Amino acid sequence: MVPTAMDLRGKVALVTGASRGIGAAIAVALAREGASVVVNHLSNDAAAAQTVAACIAAGGDAWAVKADVGSAEAVRAMAEDIGREAGAIDIVVNNAFRPYAFDPERRQRFDDLAWRDYQAQFDGAVGAAFNVCHAVLPQMRRRARGSIVNIASNLVEHPVVPYHDYTTAKAALVAFSRNLASELGPMGIRVNCVAPGLVHPTRGSQGTRESFRESLMAATPLRRLARPEDVAGPVLFLACDLSAFMTGQVLTVDGGLVMR
C-alpha cells in the first residue's frame, strides 16, 4: 500500500542534541506525528525538560536521556535503556555536534588551524554518528527496518564562508552516510542526510552579524534564513514511510541557495 501521511504512531525516535534549537524542533515535529521521542542531551537538564514538555504537548510521548554521544560506552548504555523501556528504536536523527560559532569575521583561517581542530570536528560530526549507529543498528537489523537521518550542511556544496574544519567534517558525514546506506539497504534500513543552510535563531548562529545574515538572505531565492522548524519538515519526510524508497540522499534546506 502506498503511504499517504506522516504517521509515526508506534515508532520510537532518538534525536541527539535535542535540548534546544534544531534538535528540539525535530523532536517536537516527530512527537506531533505520534512518535515516542527520546530527547538526548549532554548537560542542560532544564532545556531538555522543556523539549520533553513541548513534545508531550504536541501529542507524543517523550522523555529525556542524558548521554555524551562522543562516548561509545554512554551511547551503548543509552540504546540498551531505550530498548528495555520502549522497545526497539525505529528512527535515529544524528543532530548533535561539537559546539561551533558561525561568525564569518572571526572565523579561523586555514593557516591558523591545526589538525587537532579538524579532528575535533570530525569526532563531533562523524564520531558521534558512528557511536550512535553502532549502538542502534543491532535493534534495527533484528526488525529489518529503520531510518537514520544525519544532519549535514549546505556548506559542503557551497562554502559561502570557508569554515574549514566544520565543513570538512560535515562532508565526511555525508560520505559516512552513503556508505552505510549502501551496506544497510538490503536489510531494510535507510540512511539519508538533511543539509541546512544558516539556521537562525540558534546558539551557533547568534554570533553571525545582522549585515551578513541580510546579505545571505538577499542571495537566497526565498529571501530568508532557515528557522529550526524548516529543518524539521524534511527530517520528518525522511523518517517516515513517504520516503520508503529513498536512501543515500542529501536534502538541502537553504531556501534555494544551493540548487542541484
Q: Where in the chain are the domains?
A: 12-253
Looking at domain 12-253, its CATH superfamily turns out to be: NAD(P)-binding Rossmann-like Domain (3.40.50.720)
pLDDT value, residue 2: 56
What string of H, E and C letters represents the secondary structure of the chain?
A: CCCCCCCCCCCEEEECCCCCHHHHHHHHHHHHCCCEEEEEECCCHHHHHHHHHHHHHCCCCEEEEECCCCCHHHHHHHHHHHHHHHCCCCEEEECCCCCCCCCCCCCCCHHHCCHHHHHHHHHHHHHHHHHHHHHHHHHHHHHCCEEEEEECCHHHCCCCCCCHHHHHHHHHHHHHHHHHHHHHHHHCEEEEEEEECCECCCCCCCCCCHHHHHHHHHHCCCCCCECHHHHHHHHHHHHCHHHCCCCCCEEEECCCCCCC
| All three cell numbers of 100 | 561551533
pLDDT value, residue 170: 98
What string of H, E and C letters represents the secondary structure of 65-109?
A: EECCCCCHHHHHHHHHHHHHHHCCCCEEEECCCCCCCCCCCCCCC
Task: State the pTM of this model.
Answer: 0.95
Q: Looking at 100, 118, 163, 166, which residue is catalytic?
A: 166
pLDDT value, residue 1: 53
Q: What is the pLDDT along the chain (260 residues), one digit of tens a residue?
A: 555 568 899 999 999 999 999 999 999 999 999 999 999 999 999 999 999 999 999 999 999 999 999 999 999 999 999 999 998 999 999 999 888 888 888 899 999 999 999 999 999 999 999 999 999 999 999 999 999 999 999 999 999 999 999 999 999 999 999 999 999 999 999 999 999 999 988 777 777 888 889 999 999 999 999 999 999 999 999 999 999 999 999 999 999 999 98
Active site residue 163: no
Edge-first strand order for the sheet with 91-94 is: 62-66, 36-41, 12-15, 91-94, 146-151, 189-196, 250-253
| All three cell numbers of 190 | 535507510
At 100, phi and psi to the nearest 5?
A: -150, 135
Model confidence pLDDT, tens digit, residues 95-135: 998 888 888 888 999 999 999 999 999 999 999 999 999 99
Q: What does the mean pLDDT of the chain come to?
A: 94
